[in-house]
């Protein structure tokens, strides 16, 4: 730990948001990236606690105290290398992760927690800005071939790991573009799609082959997959919503959040829908039922934010447990 009194001398400063009057007019990211110097200051608040719980709470086990210390000392390259050990898509998690690490931060017991997620984003964007994240030529190949079914976060991470191990990887995606829920389930103002394309382009240069528009098992028979590839990794995710068997459920105008968000993302990308299939929230008051899970709340929040951008007259959430 470089500054043993950092958490005493500095208060938590979160990222700055673009002006509301500006961001409601577009679908660009709502957050303005902070400067490297500000990130170094905030990283100094990581207090080298005896038993850190941040990396324990992190689903992928990021080495958070270690790269916070590296950022504070200005060792950005080493911080980037350490972040890459556990995280294949830090530019995504640094924007949309629920930051369970911050909820588990020991400093948060009696003060505001360390800005772990923003620090993570600062590290990876420093890497892109300084051209430190470029394609890596894999000189040694195993001769093995692997098919990855699905190009959501798990599929992309699996493909990257397998490619790094020297295997020849092909990723199948039934949608017309790569990314799964990252592309079609998260609005641009939380995750602009050029961020995703930037990483996919690097992986393509590294040898990963992406096959969008192919529904593996239907367009590409399962038996053919087993014959052509040495291994098949299933990363299809789940788009099956949990329905509510309540009175009035069959009334018009009731939609699943994912159906709405996926269509909205396609509309932002320029795709057109016929009036009978269009889910349009303009000039409507919209309740969003987030009961049941954090994931439900996440999509409820994205649904509400998107609705405000298309001039919905109002949104409100139904909280509680079902």
Instruction: Tell me: pLDDT of 311 over 70.
Output: no
pLDDT value of residue 290: 55
> 101 is written with which tokens?
């690490």
Q: Provide, rounded to the nearest whole percent, the portion of the chain with pLDDT above 70.
A: 89
d(CA 180, CA 262): 10
100 vs 275, which has greater pLDDT? 100
pLDDT value of residue 295: 39
Instruction: Tell me: pLDDT of 231 over 50.
Output: yes
d(CA 207, CA 182): 21
280 vs 149, which has greater pLDDT? 149
Alpha helices in the chain (DSSP H): 6-9, 20-23, 36-43, 54-57, 64-72, 76-86, 90-96, 100-103, 116-129, 153-164, 181-184, 193-205, 222-228, 257-268, 294-309
Instruction: Provide the pLDDT confidence category of residue 321 given band limits of 50, 70 and 90.
Output: very low
Angle at Cα 190 formed by Cα 133 and Cα 65, nearest 5°?
A: 55
In the chain, the domains with their CATH numbers are 6-129 (1.10.1060.10), 145-234 (3.50.50.60), 257-318 (no CATH)
Instruction: Tell me: pLDDT of 67 over 50.
Output: yes
Name the least confident of 65-79, 213-227, 235-249, 286-300: 286-300
Q: What is the mean pLDDT of the chain?
A: 88
Rounded alpha-carbon distances, angstroms, from residue 264 to 201, 249, 322: 24, 22, 27
pLDDT value of residue 121: 97
Mean pLDDT of 90-110: 95
pLDDT value of residue 70: 96
Q: What is the DSSP letter of 216?
A: B
């Amino acid at each position: 730990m470089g500054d043993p009194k950092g958490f005493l001398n500095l208060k938590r400063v979160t990222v700055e948001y673009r002006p509301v009057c500006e961001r409601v007019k577009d679908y660009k990211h709502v957050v303005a990236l902070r400067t490297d110097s500000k990130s170094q200051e905030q990283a100094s608040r990581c207090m080298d606690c005896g038993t850190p719980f941040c990396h324990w709470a992190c689903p992928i086990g990021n080495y958070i105290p270690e790269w916070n210390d590296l950022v504070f000392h200005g060792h950005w390259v080493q911080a980037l290398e350490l972040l890459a050990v556990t995280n294949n898509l830090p530019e995504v998690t640094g924007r949309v992760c629920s930051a369970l690490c911050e909820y588990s931060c020991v400093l948060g017991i009696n003060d505001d927690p360390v800005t772990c997620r923003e620090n993570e984003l600062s590290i990876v964007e420093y890497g892109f800005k300084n051209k430190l994240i470029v394609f890596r030529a894999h000189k040694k190949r195993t001769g093995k071939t692997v098919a990855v079914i699905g190009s959501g976060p798990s599929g992309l991470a699996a493909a990257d790991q397998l490619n790094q191990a020297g295997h020849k990887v092909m990723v199948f995606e039934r949608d017309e573009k790569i990314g799964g829920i990252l592309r079609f389930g998260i609005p641009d103002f939380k995750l602009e799609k050029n961020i995703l394309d930037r990483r996919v382009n690097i992986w393509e240069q590294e040898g990963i082959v992406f096959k969008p528009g192919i529904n593996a098992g239907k367009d590409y028979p399962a038996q053919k997959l087993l014959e052509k590839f040495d291994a098949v990794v299933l990363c299809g995710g789940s788009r099956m919503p949990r329905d509510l068997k309540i009175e009035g459920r069959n009334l018009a105008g009731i939609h699943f959040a994912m159906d709405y968000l996926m269509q909205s993302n396609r509309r932002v990308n320029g795709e057109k829908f016929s009036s009978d299939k269009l889910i349009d929230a303009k000039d409507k008051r919209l309740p969003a039922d987030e009961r049941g899970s954090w994931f439900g709340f996440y999509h409820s929040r994205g649904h509400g934010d998107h609705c405000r951008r298309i001039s919905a007259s109002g949104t409100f959430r139904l909280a509680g447990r079902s």
